[in-house]
Chains A and B, each alone.
Chain A
Amino acid sequence: MKIVVCIKQVPDTAEVRINPETGTLIREGVPSIINPYDMHAIEAGLQIREKAGGNLTVVTMGPPQAESALRYAISMGADDAVLLTDKAFAGSDTWATSYILSKAIEKLGADIIICGKQAIDGDTAQVGPETAEFLGIPHISYVRRIEDVERNSIRVQRMMDEGYDIVESSFPVLLTVVRELNEPRLPSLKGKMAAKKAEIKKWGSSDINADDKKIGLKGSPTQVKNIFAPEARADRKIFQGTTEEQINALIKELKGIKCL
């Protein structure tokens, strides 16, 4: 079984603060982590390999420092790692990113590709399904449980709004996973040693035969026009005075609009 897990190094967005005066992000001191959903993807890959045998490769696209995320995945038990890094990749939106990932996966070959449901910096949940489409293979989103892995097929539970579906697919297939799926393991001592010594493959655009027109900023259909902090509501009333005066004013307002 050839397993590929796609991961992303992200700023820990829970630590990001906003400067109230300028409405901009304060990035200082915010650590980079492996996207939490991707940790569950790595764990799922390891569990499948333990059951079905085979080889697990982790892939990420990012700047050279993303190598540390790949080394962590190796310390958890991954066999190989590929860093997709190239100046020409910068500014890729979800469409271009998925194209780049699909070219790398084509080169690697895979029976199962596993991604986190979404990354916590962008929260789009688009890269998994888009990558599957570029590869021309089926995908199953929001996998919360892997029920069975057989030689030619896999059966999983897909989380939906009002419960879950049991879905079966042939191989190759791409899965996107949710946190309920498993508990990611900690690196073992042996794993940590392996991570130190591991050679991380670095692939650029020409290594994966990517079409220059489909990558980076120029290959991205979407563009950020601007970034802003939400504006204040025009009709808002912030009451003044003692607590009692403020509450009396609120009661009066609510009565006025017949809400009490």
Chain B
Amino acid sequence: MPIVVNINKCTGCKECLTSCPFDAIEIREGKAFINEYCNFCKTCLSVCPEGAIEEIEEASVTLYSSPVTDFKGVWVFAEQREGKIASVSYELLGTGRKLADELNVELSAVLFGASEREAEELIKWGADKVYFCEDNIFEKFNDEPYAKLLSSLIETHNPEIVIAGATPIGRSFIPRVAARIGTGLTADCTSLSMDRETRNLLQVRPAFGGNIMATILCPFRRPQMATVRPRVMKKGEYKEGKKGVIIHIAADNVSSRTRVIDTIKEVSGIAVNLQEADIIVAGGRGLGNTKGFELLKELAELLGGTIGASRAAVDEGWISYSHQVGQTGKTVCPKIYIACGISGAVQHLVGMQSSDIIIAINKNSEAPIFNVATYGIVGDLYEIVPLFIKKIREARGST
């Protein structure tokens, strides 16, 4: 809704000017003025010491002929690759189950192009219903058939929420679905929860290059659509005996103008290790040089873990991109994440903050990494890490 300055409250202090990411605030006649470049991001609202910047309510236009209350149910798009369901689908079912229970509705999964056996797995992981299409047009990923069939299923059954993995597949075709059915889509959410009263989905994601977080709503259209990166959410409960319904769908009138001619595998061993590791020892700008990673390797080997890095360390050329953790690198979720000399920009945090235990080692006690840390040690990592290695050896020797 429009953002305005209450000129009776504004003292012309200029605090708000630099807070605006779009240069949309200027001073006119000694008071702040919001010009047409405003993107309604609301960053300025909390900056004003006088509370003079306000959001005014205005009736919004809704394009839907039917009210939002006509939409019911939570859907998870379950992605398969070479007939195997991607593990992000089980993570989405974990989150979807919680949302569905809160709304007191069914949780459905949508599966294109795997076997019925895989569809049954989705039920055991929490789905009440699976919309399943076996057609071999879905064997390889092409955007158009995926988008067409999912759109038509949504238009037939009217779910209120649809979530999918923020994988190369999800990020490519889900936007087409949102465009086609005329609803909002929020990419790379790190948290999804319900506002029970309005049934609005609170979609939290990093914004402005991962420098800050934003909560996004889609209040007047349905379904509410979001993508979530792998390893951000936890898998739900697997119940062997759980019952559900599989609904077979025919792929009528689904064609593709793109054609996958070949699929070539190029797996980087490091990337796989990073995402499956129980323990990650990661280094950032605070290491100061490429040699610092030798020290981290010693710790990682002792703990049976692997090496990660922040974007800063990769940009400095101290270690290869395949080690990068964060919004533009890999999202990881190990049992223990040890961050050494990493200050903790939001874009790094979103790639590792769902780790079970985070140990932060940093010189600067104000570093944001300590906000997400389970345990924090303030000091010089070149003093701390060697001593930590020694103490672990001692502790192991004594037990």
Q: How many A-B residue pairs have CB under 8 A?
A: 306
Contact B214 A226 (CB under 8 A): yes
Nearest-neighbour CB distance to chain A for B162, whole angstroms, equals: 13
Contact A230 B175 (CB under 8 A): no
Interface residues on chain A, size class: 35 or more
Q: Which of A27, A125, A222 contacts B184 (CB 8 A)?
A: A222
Interface residues on chain B, size class: 35 or more
**Across-interface contacts of B206 in A (CB, < 8 A):** 123
Query: What sequence of 0s and 1s flags, for each residue 355-395 of chain B, a beta carbon within 8 Å of any chain A beta carbon?
Result: 00101000001101011111111111001100110011001
A138 CA / B60 CA spacing, docked (Å) = 32
Tell me whether A123 and B371 are in contact in the complex, defined as CB-CB below 8 angstroms, given that A25-B208, A223-B216 are known contacts. Answer: no
Contact A122 B207 (CB under 8 A): yes
**Across-interface contacts of A49 in B (CB, < 8 A):** none
**Across-interface contacts of B11 in A (CB, < 8 A):** none
**Across-interface contacts of A166 in B (CB, < 8 A):** 260-264
B176 at the interface (CB under 8 A from A): yes
A257 CA / B261 CA spacing, docked (Å) = 51
Contact A230 B371 (CB under 8 A): yes
Contact A23 B212 (CB under 8 A): yes
Interface of A is mostly: mixed
Binding-face segment, B140-148, B152-160, B293-301: B140-148
Measured CB to CB, the nearest residue on chain A to B44 is A24
**Across-interface contacts of A255 in B (CB, < 8 A):** 395
Binding-face segment, A38-46, A75-83, A86-94: A86-94
B335 at the interface (CB under 8 A from A): yes
**Across-interface contacts of A138 in B (CB, < 8 A):** 143-144, 256-258
Tell me whether A237 and B387 are in contact in the complex, defined as CB-CB below 8 angstroms, given that A223-B40, A227-B213 are known contacts. Answer: no
B327 at the interface (CB under 8 A from A): yes
**Across-interface contacts of A11 in B (CB, < 8 A):** 21, 208-209
A16 CA / B259 CA spacing, docked (Å) = 41
B242 at the interface (CB under 8 A from A): no
Measured CB to CB, the nearest residue on chain B to A232 is B371
B171 at the interface (CB under 8 A from A): yes
Q: Which of A120, A133, A232, A235 contacts B209 (CB 8 A)?
A: A120
**Across-interface contacts of B40 in A (CB, < 8 A):** 90-91, 217, 223-224
Nearest-neighbour CB distance to chain B for A48, whole angstroms, equals: 17
Contact B366 A217 (CB under 8 A): no
Contact B336 A132 (CB under 8 A): no
A161 at the interface (CB under 8 A from B): yes
A225 CA / B205 CA spacing, docked (Å) = 12
In chain A, positions 7-29 with a C-beta closer than 8 Å to chain B are 11, 13-14, 16-18, 20, 22-28
B211 at the interface (CB under 8 A from A): yes
A233 at the interface (CB under 8 A from B): yes
Q: Which of A123, A129, A232 contacts B143 (CB 8 A)?
A: A129
Contact B47 A22 (CB under 8 A): yes
Binding-face segment, B100-108, B122-130, B185-193, B283-291: B185-193
**Across-interface contacts of A132 in B (CB, < 8 A):** 176
Query: What sequence of 0s and 1s flags, for each residue 200-237 of chain A, a beta carbon within 8 Å of any chain B beta carbon?
Result: 00000000000001100111111111111111110111
**Across-interface contacts of B266 in A (CB, < 8 A):** 162-164
A204 CA / B115 CA spacing, docked (Å) = 50
Q: Which of A13, A170, A243, A250 contacts B359 (CB 8 A)?
A: A250
Contact A142 B327 (CB under 8 A): no
In chain B, positions 190-242 with a C-beta closer than 8 Å to chain A are 202, 206-221
Contact A161 B167 (CB under 8 A): yes
B320 at the interface (CB under 8 A from A): no
B41 at the interface (CB under 8 A from A): yes
Tell me whether A235 and B374 are in contact in the complex, defined as CB-CB below 8 angstroms, given that A168-B261, A217-B40, A227-B207 are known contacts. Answer: yes
A3 at the interface (CB under 8 A from B): no
In chain A, positions 236-260 with a C-beta closer than 8 Å to chain B are 236-239, 243-244, 246-248, 250-251, 253, 255, 257, 259-260
A192 at the interface (CB under 8 A from B): no
Contact B208 A126 (CB under 8 A): no
Contact A247 B395 (CB under 8 A): no
Contact A243 B18 (CB under 8 A): no
A165 CA / B264 CA spacing, docked (Å) = 6
Which 10 pairs between the two chains have the least Cβ-Cβ distance?
A13-B209, A221-B184, A222-B184, A133-B179, A238-B376, A129-B175, A163-B266, A130-B179, A141-B172, A124-B187
20 interchain pairs, CB-CB under 8 A: A24-B43, A28-B18, A91-B39, A124-B187, A126-B171, A133-B179, A160-B168, A167-B261, A173-B258, A213-B61, A223-B219, A227-B43, A227-B207, A230-B368, A231-B371, A235-B374, A236-B375, A238-B376, A243-B383, A243-B384
Binding site for B on A (CB under 8 A): 11, 13-14, 16-18, 20, 22-28, 63, 87, 90-91, 93-95, 98-99, 120-134, 137-142, 155, 159-170, 173, 213-214, 217-233, 235-239, 243-244, 246-248, 250-251, 253, 255, 257, 259-260
